[in-house]
Amino acid sequence: LYSDMNIDDQYTNDFQKKCQNEIHAIVEKHKKDKSIDNLDAEELLYGEVDATIDEINRCILEEGFYTVPPHTWNGFAVLGFKKFACNSQMPIWEYRDKYGQNQGEHAIWLHANYYIHLEMKANKIPCIENNSIKNENFFDFFKKYLRDIIANYLFDYIRIDYVDHIFDNILNEGEKEIPLTEMLTPNEILEIINYLRDTWPGLGMQADHLGKDVTMYAKAGFNLITNSDVSLEYNSVNLRKIFGNLINAKQECKSCRMLWAIDTHDMAHPLFLGKELALREGKMGIVVRFFLSRFANIGRERQPKYEVIGNQDLSFGIHRANNRPESLSWKSNQEVLEIYHEIETQYLLMREDLNESKLVQFTVTNNVASFLVCHPSLLKGWIGVVPVPIVGNNKEIETITLDNIFAFKDRGIPILKSIICYEISESDHFNRTSIEHLCILNFCNTSKKIELTFSNKGLMLIEVNMKYY
């Protein structure tokens, strides 16, 4: 729009610097008028700073400056310019893929983008011969910015969003990566992470990516990614998948692990599940996820637990609150909160034993799921029982048989001790009870098996000890 200049001419570094200098002058004038040295200073009153920033933004818009949104995951370089919408007073951008097809439906609706790579052209593959495509000023700023944030707030990990396509959006020219979009490349992310770890060697870096491809993300410096199990709806079919993944867990990569996620901040994103986990799973589903995260997710292959604010008492709305000036929907469910803390307290008491133990068996029926954990001494273990959402009115009594894998002698008998025991009513209330009220346990000396016959729906953790006489 500027003096009928072509959009690609406006994207040149010389013109971008001209824009930056003019915007910088506007910002400095408003800061001087308000006697503000630093708009990020913590001691400033938020209302005063917000009002000043609003004034600056209005002035910048009046001068005709607009930030360029990020491209779509399957686009090239930066956006083309389509037209200016006079009714809304904003540019309409052109999102194209390599076939020239419109990709506007994949736009992620962010307001501004960093100037990461130089001399990008609208919807075109960047020039491979350009060896100065990296904007060193940006990287110098961004690394120091993150360093200062960590030092100020003592964060022990950082999560980087929107990294699902970082390996798709590059061309490899020998050992060199050519970025195809205005997005950080794997090597650029690694550079930032290595810079931060020079000061904090133990800093966690989480890729906000649902999957199991830990080896690939380790190459970019990440040591955490989010297990895709979090996206599975709580039912008997998916419980079999989750238990199967746990019992067959192998640590494929020493430098990167999957997280056992109770939730993520954006489960309610319309492009994903469109519903917060607390609303999708309800009280029973959330409690079961917490229970499995501590007593089935165990051993040397254990996935670190990842949870977000609110799940512990069925609050929700973190996705909306992350994008709008609103609070979470606080539910303060006392029942769930107490069970959460009971699970955490028991886990702390058992943690050392569980770190050495192994999930050896599981059974999932229409109404109940159980799993067996064995300590390497073979002298003790644990039986976990969780409810399965019942389809229809199926209330039949079920019997589950678990193989006895403990050290067994002719005169050995198991001593069973209730650690956590709740009956779950038809209205999904959790009531403390005894093992005997939920099920009958039989230990068969002949078959060396443990049988559980359930009469009521419940949540249980039972300690099994072998006694000799």
In angstroms, the CA 400 to CA 379 distance is 22
The CATH number of 353-467 is 2.60.40
- pLDDT, one tens digit per residue, over 74-112 is 899 999 999 889 898 888 999 999 899 999 888 876 666
pLDDT of residue 111: 66
How confident is the model over 206-240, as pLDDT tens digits? Answer: 998 988 899 999 999 999 999 988 888 889 999 99
Given this model, what pLDDT does residue 17 score?
Answer: 93
Question: What percent of the chain lies above the pLDDT cut of 90?
Answer: 48
Q: What's the rounded Cα separation, in Å, for the pair 100 and 164? A: 22
Distance CA 418, CA 436 (A): 10
* Contact indicator for 390, 284 with CB cutoff of 8 Å: no
Q: What is the pLDDT of residue 289?
A: 94
Question: Above 70 in pLDDT, residue 467?
Answer: no
Helix axes 186-197, 136-153, angle to 10 degrees: 40
Is residue 380 predicted with pLDDT exceeding 80? Answer: yes
Pick the more confident residue, 3 or 373. 373
Cβ contact 412:424 at 8 Å: no
Whole-prediction pTM: 0.86
pLDDT at residue 393 is higher than 60: no
Q: What are the φ and ψ backbone dihedral angles of 149, each rounded to 5 degrees?
A: -65, -45
For the stretch 1-32, pLDDT in tens is 677 889 999 999 999 999 999 999 999 999 99
Q: Which of 2-6, 189-193, 269-273 has the lowest mean pLDDT?
A: 269-273
Residue 232, C-beta contacts closer than 8 angstroms, at least 6 positions apart: 238, 241, 242
Mean per-residue pLDDT, 435-462: 81
Q: What is the mean pLDDT of the chain?
A: 87
117-151 confidence digits (pLDDT tens) = 998 999 998 876 666 688 999 999 999 999 999 99
| Predicted local confidence at residue 389, as pLDDT | 81
Asked whether 459 and 431 are in contact (CB, 8 A), the reply is no
What does the pLDDT read at residue 26? Answer: 96
pLDDT, tens digit (0-9, with 9 covering 90-100), for 294-331: 999 999 889 999 998 899 999 998 888 877 788 889 99
| DSSP secondary structure letter of residue 222 | -
Phi, psi of 464 (to 5 degrees): -115, 120
In the chain, the largest separation of any two C-alpha atoms, in whole Å, equals 96
Lookup result for tokens 């997005």: 183
**Helical H segments across 34-89, by residue range:** 46-62
Q: Where residue 469 falls among pLDDT bands split at 50, 70, 90?
A: very low
- Where helices occur in 179-235 by DSSP H, the ranges are 186-197, 214-218
- Over residues 414-431, the pLDDT tens digits come to 778 899 999 988 788 999
